[in-house]
Amino acid sequence: MLQFKLDHASFEHVKADVAVVFVVEKNLNHAWVHHKEVLETFGYEGEGVFFDQAHKRLYVGVAHNDVHLFREAACLALKALKKYHFKSLKVGLYAAKNATEGECPLGQTMLAILTGLQFGLYQYEAYKSKKEPIHLKEVHVALGEASQFEHEVKTLERNLEKLLHKAHVLVEHVNLARDLVNTPPDVANAPYIAKKAQDLAEKNGLECFVHGEDYLKEKGMNAYLAVNRASANPPRLVHVVYKPKNAKKKIVLVGKGLTYDCGGLSIKTAEYMITMKADKGGACAVLATINALAHLKVDAEVHAVLGLAENMISGNSYRPDDILISKEGKTIEVRNTDAEGRLVLADCLSFAQDLEPDILVDFATLTGACVVGLGQYTSGIMGNNEELKTRFEHAALKSGELVAKLPFNRHLRKLLDSKMADIANITPVRYGGAVTAGLFLNEFIREEYKDKWLHIDIAGPVYIEKDWDVNTPGASGAGVRMCVEFVLESLK
Ligand code: BES
Ligand code: ZN
Ligand code: ZN
């Protein structure tokens, strides 16, 4: 983690090994742009990064004066710098046009820059024989020379502790989710993740209950059990609780935690199986989120429910044609064993409703269809309550994660009708697959929770093939930032 230091000197006077200068909207006339002849020689016009090595100034383009582009640019700058042996860097103050946090655009923009810089450091190298050393330790924020921000600088200084803390907590917990999701599936099985949850709970003063097969049987969670039946590893339902005094709301988060999804008997093709260790992304996101919220000391009682299982193949596999009796009592005709996440979630949502939440949100890498529909950068928001969906959408977008609402409709719902049971786990047509998966979950939401529930399909952004935004190839930690922001906004 980087250490942030505030310095009252002007940008030029702050001492650091290297300077990072943002070039906003290609404006190279800013006072912090030096040695323009060098930029000209190399044809740098303010797009991407340019490192003036002789003068130790790294320029990074910010195409529009937008808080999210500052975050991305800061990450890019750090990725470019980390191979060098600099120990410290300096940045100046910026206030993007669309920033809003606490009436302090400067605060929100600086929060974005500081998180972006930190994200630039992330690399998963637990299994690399040769680790890349990281030399950068300190970031100096130059506060001087900021007459245009005079008022905001005072607010910033007042809020700084809080702001730095938030940046730190966000990055630490997004990276926690990334590390867990990146851990290979032979290691990160359900008991492994459950143990991690227990260790974190102990460290952060949370309660943690870990339930095994007997408990699931006792509660009638047969849909969940069927999915795990062919696995050599036992399932674990993990329930983490953060319960502060004077909680204003009870928020229950549910995460799909398939530590591996090979598809089961409806087996995936070789190509689609790769990255399926990321099918536990929802569970890892809610685990990281509840720990982040505890660090931020939010005034809400938060529960995280992780449905950990593994979808494998054996003589004992559950099959297409099987009919499962869920915890809610609804019967499910299995028509495709690769539509397993919704089976685990059906029972976990049932467990979650028993906790009587004010707000219930599930996070799941549920469908390839969501990725086809929205692209790999965007998560889908589903639910019955327009206002709640919109609130989630705004909070998510503010946090820097991309989301879009996907509407339910009665025609798609009919496609889940089964001749053999109360409902089928897939539809006969593949169109609208993200929405029909959401509608399947909706069947397990009781009337009194219909308007309190949201389903977030994070299948697109959970795993990264090529660098984008603040991400590095591998797990992205999708869901953590949006969920933390949503809870913070829900308490305002
Ligand atoms: N875990 C997958 C969904 C997924 C796909 C996550 C791509 C991340 C990236 C899920 O369990 C699945 O296999 N869904 C099927 C559903 C189908 C059988 C109706 C899918 O999307 O193809
Ligand atoms: Zn599947
Ligand atoms: Zn899956």
- Per-residue pLDDT of 181-214, as tens digits, reads 999 999 999 999 999 999 999 999 999 999 999 9
Structural Rg of the chain based on CA atoms: 24
Q: What is the dihedral of CA 14, 108, 296, 304, to 10 degrees?
A: -130
pLDDT category, 156, cuts 50, 70, 90?
confident
Q: Which atom of ligand 1 is nearest to the CA of 433?
A: 19
Task: Verify whether ligand 1 is closer than 6 Å to residue 372 (CB atom).
Answer: no
- Determine whether 335 is an active site residue: no
Mean pLDDT check: name the lowest of 71-75, 147-151, 239-243, 299-303: 147-151
- Give per-residue pLDDT as tens, 315-362: 999 999 999 999 999 999 999 999 999 999 999 999 999 999 999 999
Kindly list the protein residues that place their beta carbon closer than 5 angstroms to ligand 2, a single-atom ion: 261, 338, 340
Task: Verify whether ligand 1 is closer than 6 Å to residue 320 (CB atom).
Answer: no
- Taking 70 as the threshold, does the pLDDT of residue 19 lie above it? yes
Whole-model pTM: value is 0.97
Q: In this predicted structure, what is the pLDDT of residue 153?
A: 74
- Taking 70 as the threshold, does the pLDDT of residue 101 lie above it? no
Catalytic residue among 56, 268, 391, 405: 268
Average pLDDT, stretch 459-485? 98
